[in-house]
């Protein structure tokens, strides 16, 4: 904040709007300082938008994990201005769901000031955050430089924006937004996302419907195998979850809970390996005792269709609930289906 303030104060570029730098404390004590400012300070009524700087770790990329509420122009401002974008509507919906027991000044400005904003936070190396190891020498200059580049660019964009003066006019709808490998951000209105999602669902319905409506002599026991495979898939997921929970309880009982926190790959090896092993075991047993006469190609076809159906159900549920995170299921369904259809068409042409 000090460096951004220095750059702006020495810049010859004129800003259309004033910028307030609020250095506030008492954040850990129920966000008292931000509440005091937004409810009592005479400048509070003049504010049209804010950028809140947070941390849930030390270093790494600063993540945009909350925007709005509504005001899609703020997301567009970040998309247009940020030099190194790192943003996800998934993080926003997970955080705002209350699953993560945390809070930021963003809520105070939003709820008590009725002001839209952007919430950014460092999230890496969370295992040393709020501990005696959280010292200045652990703050990476690269992370500070990256954050400074983004914040300065977005701040300049907002301070010269014509929309800021009448921000309330542009308060309509939510945005689906996510970055692609930190190179750029894809953002579009949630209503457009709902249309795309239901188009993907219709594609799956047509694809699977055509298979289910084919005469029995062409499909054999496809319907029966599909339903049994669906049950096997759900059982494998459930047993994997139970296995992971058993391991987690065991780790806690021996006094090693969160021992993997400072090395993420350890948690992947510990829980990921158990999950994959359990799924493979269930499917191997199913192949040996139920699908023993089925070819590998046929089983691949059946379980591909089952995967499409399951993720399509997720897509319908998330879209119906109005969650922007449904784009993940849409991508998970659309690209495999398009690839399958293109490959199948290519095989047919070669035949």
Cα distances (Å, whole numbers) of residue 230 to 211, 294, 336: 16, 16, 18
Q: Cα 165 to the chain's mean position, in Å?
A: 30
Q: Report d(CA 58, CA 129) in Å as an integer.
A: 6
Q: Report d(CA 5, CA 316) in Å as an integer.
A: 46
Closest CA to 170 of 268, 260, 258, 68: 68
Q: Report d(CA 317, CA 230) in Å as an integer.
A: 18
- If you ran DSSP here, which 8-state letter would residue 41 be given? -
Q: Torsions phi, psi of 264, nearest 5?
A: -60, -35
Q: Report d(CA 91, CA 232) in Å as an integer.
A: 31
Q: Report d(CA 58, CA 144) in Å as an integer.
A: 10
Q: Report d(CA 72, CA 216) in Å as an integer.
A: 51
Confirm whether 124 is a catalytic residue. Answer: no
Q: Order across the sheet with 62-68: list the strands.
A: 50-55, 117-122, 62-68
Catalytic-labelled residue, pool 27, 62, 70, 93: 27
Are the beta carbons of 116 and 74 closer than 8 angstroms?
Answer: yes
Q: Report d(CA 68, CA 170) in Å as an integer.
A: 11
Are the beta carbons of 155 and 18 closer than 8 angstroms?
Answer: no
C-alpha dihedral sign at 295, 298, 303, 306:
negative
The two tokens of residue 117 are: 């904003």
Q: Report d(CA 309, CA 221) in Å as an integer.
A: 18
**Active site positions, annotated:** 27
């Amino acid at each position: 904040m000090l460096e951004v303030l220095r750059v702006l104060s020495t810049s010859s570029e004129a800003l259309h709007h004033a910028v307030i730098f609020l250095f506030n404390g008492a954040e850990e004590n129920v966000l008292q300082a931000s509440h005091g400012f937004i409810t009592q300070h005479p400048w509070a009524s003049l504010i049209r938008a804010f950028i809140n700087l947070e941390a849930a770790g030390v270093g790494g990329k600063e993540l945009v994990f909350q925007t709005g509420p509504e005001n899609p122009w703020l997301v567009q401002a970040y998309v247009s201005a940020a030099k190194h974008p790192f943003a996800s509507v998934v993080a926003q919906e997970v955080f705002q769901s209350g699953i993560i027991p945390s809070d930021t000044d963003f809520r105070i400005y939003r709820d008590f000031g009725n002001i839209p904003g952007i919430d950014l936070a460092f999230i890496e190396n969370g295992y040393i955050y709020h501990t005696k190891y959280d010292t200045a020498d652990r703050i990476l200059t690269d992370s500070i430089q990256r954050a400074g580049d983004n914040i300065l660019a977005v701040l300049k964009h907002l301070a010269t924006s014509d929309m800021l003066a009448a921000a309330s006019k542009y308060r309509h709808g939510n945005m689906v937004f996510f970055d692609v490998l930190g190179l750029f951000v894809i953002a579009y209105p949630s209503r457009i996302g709902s249309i795309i999602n239901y188009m993907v669902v219709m594609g799956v319905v047509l694809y699977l419907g055509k298979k289910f409506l084919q005469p029995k002599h062409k499909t054999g026991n496809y319907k029966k195998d599909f339903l049994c495979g669906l049950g096997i898939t759900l059982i494998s997921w459930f047993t994997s979850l139970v296995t992971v929970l058993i391991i987690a309880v065991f780790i806690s009982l021996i006094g090693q809970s969160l021992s993997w926190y400072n090395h993420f790959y350890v948690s992947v090896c510990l829980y990921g390996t158990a999950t994959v092993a359990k799924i493979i075991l269930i499917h191997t047993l199913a192949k040996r005792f139920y699908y023993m006469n089925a070819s590998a190609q046929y089983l691949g076809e059946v379980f591909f269709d089952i995967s499409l159906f399951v993720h399509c159900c997720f897509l319908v549920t998330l879209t119906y609930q109005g969650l922007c995170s449904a784009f993940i299921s849409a991508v998970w369904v659309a690209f495999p289906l398009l690839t399958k259809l293109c490959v199948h068409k290519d095989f047919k042409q070669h035949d």
